[in-house]
């Protein structure tokens, strides 16, 4: 099968998962404005990749200190002279004893991760997927089927790690903290990959793929596909439904296809900001039911959840270990017991569920079960399952099975969304507490009052577009520093000594200063309008922040904030209040130390 489509129709994440779950072999070619990349699959595993001709596996191995430059030169010479009997670079290195399989796996993993990381960021482009047999040209006798025996990588594990790396790069790119991997892995032997004529060597270009002869493959990959062969997202579902629901009428099959098609079009589910907020979302499904595996994977992608389907305990443990290794806490779902023997028998599921609870207490579990089996449902809750879902069965009623399954999947999808939303909030809360702890420690290290008020101003400016520090005097508030008021926020703090707000009149400023109470909300205060907005301009929304800094029972400074020309910010006021209170204590300690120093002198 060979078809082409647009990345706007099917994201690269979906394509890789599709090839993994269907255990396909073949070549995925992705073209965009930056060039073309290829990923090579064998039985659903990734065995090679082409990184836009920027990074080669030989260079990666040298930079990782897995081999020396002399080793690389020797193997390239062997490949060049081998002709028809040439083997992939990694296979040759292993055969010569210059590279262990563990190091080979690490090097190929790095190359493939860099390739997938680049492709994850592509929102536009075309892909061509050829899942037909790959035939090696007469120039190379190395069998394509042996690639998987030499070295292969689990597609979904590579994908999850690539998403994590992509998120980190996106987060760090703005402040310019990291150096791209492509620069770190700049070619170590540039002169070795150019022929005397100046043309790039076809024998060595294949090394880009991690397996030496992939550029010599003769693939049935047409330059142009007729309109009826252009990729249709619904066709994947249609083929799977015909296989799994062959005993149902065509109109009922099509109703199920229409249901799945609603979740096919990408809705930004793989947007990096979503994953950064709550971490990579992974769901492990222990099931032998192809309909459930395909359906759950389809509906979960709408919310950016990666689904790992398996039917073995050993692979299950491996997937959980890998998820925890990359700090992606998964949700484990056990399918309904369908047989009296095997991994999905009732007895085996109960035993496995208990072993998972003992070995991985941090992993949440969900159980699917037949409606009448109350004892099994109660046992699932006893074993720590967060929820039990009654799963439809053709035995219970074939006439309503399609509609019952659609209702079941819709409900399951709502639960999954709620579960990961709850986890996102927990992660966000943990992050906030971590930041709060760090900022409190920073405040405690400050030695002078001006630096203390400046630190609070900078914290407030991370939430609000405009922020100002006022010093409290007997009859007025005197402006000290501001961020985003008369200059761009990126400029940093600027002096605003021209800002004066009287405390002789009743106002929200005087109320906060006298009572020392935090204020965040809308205000139509006349002093605010006439003495502040007249000078800095009114914000889009009249929602303002007034954060007092108090010491020894008096307000000594006031931090003002608003959202400028944007909508009002969502605020966790308790965290700011804690910081302001801590600042007051630090200031009090400063004053106490200064008084003690004077007294001792």
pLDDT (tens digit per residue) in 54-75 = 677 888 888 888 899 888 888 8
Picking from 78, 98, 73, the residue whose alpha carbon sits closest to that of residue 88 is 78
The answer to whether 49 and 37 are in contact (CB under 8 A) is yes
* Measured distance CA(1)–CA(132) in Å, rounded: 5
What does the pLDDT look like over 340-363, one tens digit per residue?
777 788 999 999 999 999 999 999
Helix (H) or strand (E) holding 579: helix 573-600
- For the chain, the C-alpha Rg in angstroms (whole number) is 31
pLDDT of residue 204: 29
Torsions phi, psi of 112, nearest 5? -65, -40
pLDDT of residue 251: 94
CA dihedral 487, 488, 491, 497 (to 10 degrees): 30
pLDDT of residue 431: 76
The answer to whether 126 and 209 are in contact (CB under 8 A) is no
pLDDT at 227 over 50: no
- Range ranked top by mean pLDDT from 22-26, 207-211, 390-394: 390-394
Question: What number is the average pLDDT over the span 536-556?
Answer: 92
Picking from 481, 490, 474, 442, the residue whose alpha carbon sits closest to that of residue 561 is 481
- SS3 category, 5: strand
> Which has more pLDDT, 30 or 342?
30
* Measured distance CA(579)–CA(178) in Å, rounded: 30
Percent helix, strand, coil in the chain, to 5, is 50, 20, 30
pLDDT at 266 over 70: no
pLDDT at 293 over 60: yes
> Which has more pLDDT, 197 or 258?
258
pLDDT at 273 over 70: no
At which residue do the structure tokens 């290195």 appear? 93
Asked which of 152-161, 349-358, 389-398, 416-425 is least confident by mean pLDDT, the reply is 152-161
What does the pLDDT look like over 78-116, one tens digit per residue?
888 877 677 778 788 888 888 888 888 788 888 888 888
pLDDT at 497 over 50: yes
pLDDT of residue 474: 92
Residue 500: exposed, middle, or buried by beta-carbon count in 10 A (0-12, 13-18, 19+)?
middle
- SS3 category, 267: coil
pLDDT at 453 over 50: yes
pLDDT of residue 184: 61
Six token digits for residue 488: 């761009």
């Amino acid at each position: 099968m060979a078809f082409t489509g647009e990345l706007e129709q099917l994201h690269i994440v979906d394509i890789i998962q599709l090839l993994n779950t269907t255990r396909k072999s073949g070549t995925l070619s992705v073209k965009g404005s930056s060039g073309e990349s290829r990923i090579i699959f064998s039985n659903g595993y990734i065995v090679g990749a082409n990184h836009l001709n920027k990074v080669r596996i030989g260079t990666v191995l040298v930079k990782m200190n897995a081999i020396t430059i002399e080793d690389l030169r020797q193997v390239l010479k062997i490949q060049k002279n081998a002709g028809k009997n040439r083997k992939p670079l990694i296979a040759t290195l292993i055969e010569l004893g210059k590279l262990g399989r563990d190091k080979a796996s690490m090097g190929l993993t790095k190359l493939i991760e860099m390739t997938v990381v680049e492709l994850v960021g592509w929102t536009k482009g075309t892909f061509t997927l050829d899942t037909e047999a790959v035939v090696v040209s007469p120039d190379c006798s190395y069998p394509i089927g042996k690639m998987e025996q030499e070295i292969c990588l689990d597609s979904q594990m590579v994908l999850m790690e690539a998403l994590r790396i992509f998120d980190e790069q996106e987060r760090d790119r703005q402040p310019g903290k990291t150096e791209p991997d492509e620069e770190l892995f700049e070619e170590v032997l540039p002169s070795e990959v150019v022929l005397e004529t100046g043309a790039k060597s076809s024998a060595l270009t294949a090394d880009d793929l991690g397996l030496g002869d992939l550029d010599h493959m003769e693939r049935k990959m047409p330059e142009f596909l007729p309109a009826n062969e252009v990729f249709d997202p619904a066709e994947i579902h249609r083929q799977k439904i015909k296989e799994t629901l062959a005993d149902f009428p065509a109109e009922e099959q099509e109703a199920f296809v229409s249901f799945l098609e609603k979740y096919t079009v990408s809705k930004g589910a793989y947007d990096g900001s979503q994953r950064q907020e709550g971490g990579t979302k992974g769901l492990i499904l222990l099931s032998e039911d192809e309909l459930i595996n395909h359906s759950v994977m389809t509906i979960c992608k709408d919310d950016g959840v990666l689904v790992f389907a398996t039917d073995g305990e050993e692979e299950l443990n491996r997937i959980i270990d890998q998820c925890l290794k990359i700090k992606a806490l998964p949700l484990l779902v056990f399918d309904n017991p369908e047989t009296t023997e095997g991994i999905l028998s009732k007895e085996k599921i109960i035993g496995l569920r208990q072993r998972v609870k003992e070995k991985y207490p941090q992993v949440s579990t969900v159980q699917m079960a037949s409606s009448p089996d109350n004892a099994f449902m109660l046992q699932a809750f006893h074993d720590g399952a967060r929820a039990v879902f009654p799963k439809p069965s053709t035995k219970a009623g074939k006439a309503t099975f399609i509609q019952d399954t659609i209702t079941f999947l819709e409900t399951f999808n709502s639960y999954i969304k709620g579960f990961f939303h709850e986890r996102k909030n927990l992660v966000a809360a943990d992050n906030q507490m971590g930041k709060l702890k760090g900022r409190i420690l920073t405040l405690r290290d400050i030695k002078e009052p001006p630096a203390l008020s400046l630190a609070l101003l900078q914290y407030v400016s991370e939430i609000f577009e405009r922020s100002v520090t006022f010093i409290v005097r007997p009859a007025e508030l005197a402006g000290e520093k501001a961020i985003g008021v008369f200059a761009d926020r990126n400029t940093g703090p600027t002096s605003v000594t021209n800002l004066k707000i009287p405390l002789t009149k009743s106002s929200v400023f005087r109320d906060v200063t006298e009572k020392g109470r935090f204020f965040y909300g809308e205000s139509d205060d006349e002093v605010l309008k006439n003495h502040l907005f007249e000078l800095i301009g009114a914000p889009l929304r009249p929602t303002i922040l007034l954060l007092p800094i108090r010491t020894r029972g008096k307000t000594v400074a006031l931090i003002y904030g608003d959202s400028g020309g944007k909508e009002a910010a969502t605020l966790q006021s308790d965290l700011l209040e804690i910081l302001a209170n801590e600042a007051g204590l630090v200031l009090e300690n400063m004053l106490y130390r200064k008084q003690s120093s004077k007294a001792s002198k």
